[in-house]
Amino acid sequence: MGWILFEILKEAIRARNYFAHDCSLDLIYAPYRNAYKFNPDLPLIKEYLRKLAVGDYLVSRWTEEFHERESGVYVDKNQYLSNIEKWIFAK
C-alpha cells in the first residue's frame, strides 16, 4: 500500500513540474517570437491535472488528519477531482 502512495506523490511531482516548467516554456519565450501561437495539448494537460489533483487530495487529507486527529475524508476523491476539473476548465 505504501508504494502506491509513493507513486501517487511521484506522479504529482511530475505533473507539477510539467505545469511549472515544460508547459510554461512557450509562455516565457512568447514575447521573442513573431506570430506566436500557443497550442496546448489538452489531453496531456488533463492527465497531468488529474495526477496533480490526486496528489493534492492525498496530502490535504494527511494534513487534516494530522492536525485535527480525525478522518480527513470530507469529500469523496472522485468528487474532489471532478470539482477541480470543473473549476479549471469552467465546465
Output the nine-digit C-alpha cell for 26.
512557450
Does residue 20 surpass a pLDDT of 70? yes
Q: Tell me the pLDDT band of 22, cut-offs 50, 70 and 90.
A: confident
The pTM is what? 0.74
Q: What letters, b where the CB count within 10 A reaches 16 and e where it falls short, cover 20-33?
A: eeebeeeeeeeeee
Find the domain containing 55 and state its range: 2-89
Q: Cell 492525498, residue?
A: 58
Number of domains in the chain: 1
Interatomic CA distance for residues 90 and 72, integer angstroms? 27
Over residues 26-83, the pLDDT tens digits come to 777 666 666 556 677 889 999 999 999 999 988 887 777 666 676 656 678 888 889 8
